[in-house]
Amino acid sequence: MSIVSRLVLPLRVLLVMVFLGLLVAQVMSFPGEFLFTREEGPRMDPWRWPMLLFFELEAVCLQVVIVCIWRLLTLVQRGRIFTPASLRWVDVIMWAFVSAWLLLAVMAGSLISYIYFTPELRDPGLPAVLIGITLIGAVLVLLIVVLRDLLRQATSLQADMEGVI
């Protein structure tokens, strides 16, 4: 039994836990965090709905990635990771990451603009953090694209080797 096959079950348990945690956050935590507080009533007036929508959509993107990873783990267990079926799941992961990054870039740009054009909020700290997080997200998206191309090349080589044998 290889180390990969021994890690599939613990990884699946963790994926289920993260998926359920995101589901609980979407239903219970995010709405309570962004829409209401006990002391103040509704808060973050101009940003409460955009922030709620942002976090809900980001959580959906993560849930899509979790489902795709689950399917890829099934292909790994069956020894079929270097097939066109795996490329479809990796494509969905890639587009989920692209969508999440685009959402992040739009939200970060909006918040940076809001902070910049509101004199009492001008502080370089939060915009710098938002720009840094957006750049890190871009690196992750590009890394996923490169890894997808590596899988495509490995799949092509696997098919060529099977044709020779």
**Cα dihedral across residues 42, 47, 49, 53: positive or negative:** negative
The pLDDT tens digits for 35-75 are 765 565 555 467 888 888 999 999 999 999 999 999 999 99
Cα 159 to Cα 41, 72, 81, 117: the distances in Å are: 61, 18, 12, 56
pLDDT recorded at residue 95: 97
Residue of 1, 4, 137, 140 whose CA lies nearest to 81: 4
Dist. CA 80–CA 83, nearest whole Å: 6
Tokens of 156: 């092509």
pLDDT recorded at residue 40: 56
pLDDT recorded at residue 136: 97
pLDDT recorded at residue 142: 97
pLDDT recorded at residue 162: 76
What are the backbone angles phi and psi of residue 41, rounded to the nearest 5°? 75, -150
pLDDT recorded at residue 116: 87
Please check whether residue 121 is in contact with residue 115, taking contact to mean a CB–CB distance below 8 angstroms.
yes
- The SS3 call for residue 51 is helix
Q: With a cut of 70, list the residues of the chain below it in pLDDT.
A: 1, 36-45
Q: What pTM value is reported for the model?
A: 0.85
Dist. CA 1–CA 141, nearest whole Å: 33
